[in-house]
Amino acid sequence: MKKIIDKLYSENNLNESELLNLLNNVSNNEINYLHIKAIETLNKTYGKKIFLRGLIEFTNYCKNNCSYCGIRAGNKKCQRYRLSEKEILAICLEGYTLGYRTFVLQGGEDPYYSDTILTELIKEIKKQYPDCAVTLSIGERSPTSYKTLYNSGADRFLIREETRSKELYNKLHPNMSYENREFCLHELKRIGYQIGGGFMVGLPFQTNADYVKDLLFLKQLQPHMIGIGPFIPHKDTSLSKYPPGSIEMTCILLSILRLLLPEVLLPATTALGTLDPLGWEKGFYAGANVVMLNLSPPDAREKYSLYEGKANIPDDAIKYLSNIKSRIEKCGFTLDTSRGDHISLQ
């Protein structure tokens, strides 16, 4: 197995059967070795820097019914909210003052936010903070809409493929299209966004062969960013009784992704930090180099409940940031508050 890891390290590639063999048979010692090789690779691209993003969860209205997600349309217990432009700009001001230079606007697929409303919002953020990147994470829209939002100043777009198993995708996403999810990623890249794909780990019925499909898909897509995190059950969903995904498997997959795509921006995700108090640290040791901190107001944070027990966040944004900074430094990394673009664009 060490040979396969060495090959992955030197060639930044493996074929389907090698990847499956690695996932099926990697031993504890070899997992350590995999993480070491991932960190060595990261040292050659971004070094010891962990990039910072500020997450603004601006709406939890959603027209979709993803069966794992707490804010899916069918959850009648979810209390819905939307943040106004004024509220969002106030959050940006607070974030900017603290040093944030990327704002991630994330939400459910909320038809209320027309292109006109979003264009105005993006233009205003870019006008007030021209040195900041705006990232959108608002799901599937038309190519025209993506283009309009890009032209109004949005820099990046996150839309995970969620899983590249067609069967599993269709099981978990009623009335959604596996093909369209992929189409959106290609379209966003073609338009010029820095794009982020990614998937969940430990979904009910997900197998190692399914992970291999995601790994090969992402290697081919060459996104600028990849977000992966463990599945965490939510009590108001049909998947509430299933166990959460494994931290160890998430970290193995993080290292493999770092080796397959040495230049990719790879967050230690909120889900990873939620399921394990040391989840972010484990992510950094596996090759992650981005951290996305929540800037949403406490009331919104509580209602933006994709899954149970989202990382307990102190209300004091200054203390929150300095706490994360010291956790990062304890791991031997530094917190980098620049825009943190993909290396090809720096």
Residue 57 touches ligand SAH, criterion: CB under 6 A: no
Q: Which one-letter amino acid corresponds to residue 291?
A: V
Residue 162 touches ligand SAH, criterion: CB under 6 A: yes
Residue 109 touches ligand SAH, criterion: CB under 6 A: yes
Residue 200 touches ligand SAH, criterion: CB under 6 A: yes
Residue 137 touches ligand SAH, criterion: CB under 6 A: yes
Residue 118 touches ligand SAH, criterion: CB under 6 A: no
Chain centroid to Cα 60, Å, comes to: 17
Residue 197 touches ligand SAH, criterion: CB under 6 A: no
| Contact in structure between 119 and 150 (CB atoms under 8 Å) | no
Nearer to ligand SAH, 42 or 69 (CB): 69
Q: How many angstroms separate the CA atoms of 13 and 215, rounded?
A: 10
Q: How many angstroms separate the CA atoms of 229 and 254, rounded?
A: 9
Nearer to ligand SAH, 5 or 133 (CB): 133
CB of 274: closest distance to ligand SAH in angstroms? 8
Tell me the window of 28-36, 102-110, 118-126, 186-194 that interacts with ligand SAH (CB under 6 A). Answer: 102-110
Residue 157 touches ligand SAH, criterion: CB under 6 A: no
Residue 294 touches ligand SAH, criterion: CB under 6 A: no
Tell me the window of 44-52, 158-166, 184-192, 323-331 that interacts with ligand SAH (CB under 6 A). Answer: 158-166
CB of 22: closest distance to ligand SAH in angstroms? 23
Which of 103, 157, 231, 285 contacts ligand SAH by CB under 6 A? 231
CB of 284: closest distance to ligand SAH in angstroms? 20
> For residue 200, what are the contacts with CB-CB under 8 A and spacing of at least 6?
68, 160, 162, 163, 206, 228, 229, 230, 231, 245, 271
- Closest-by-Cβ residue to ligand SAH is 139
Task: Name the one residue in this structure whose structure tokens are 């917190």.
Answer: 335
307-315's contacts with Cβ under 8 Å and 24+ in sequence apart are 307/68, 307/69, 307/70, 307/231, 307/232, 307/233, 307/234, 307/271, 307/274, 308/70, 308/232, 308/233, 308/234, 308/235, 309/232, 309/274, 310/270, 310/274, 311/270, 311/273, 311/274
Q: At what angle do helices 317-330 and 279-286 cross, to 10 degrees?
A: 50
Residue 69 touches ligand SAH, criterion: CB under 6 A: yes
Return residues touching ligand SAH (CB under 6 A): 68-69, 106, 108-109, 137-139, 159-160, 162, 200, 229, 231-232, 234, 271, 306-307
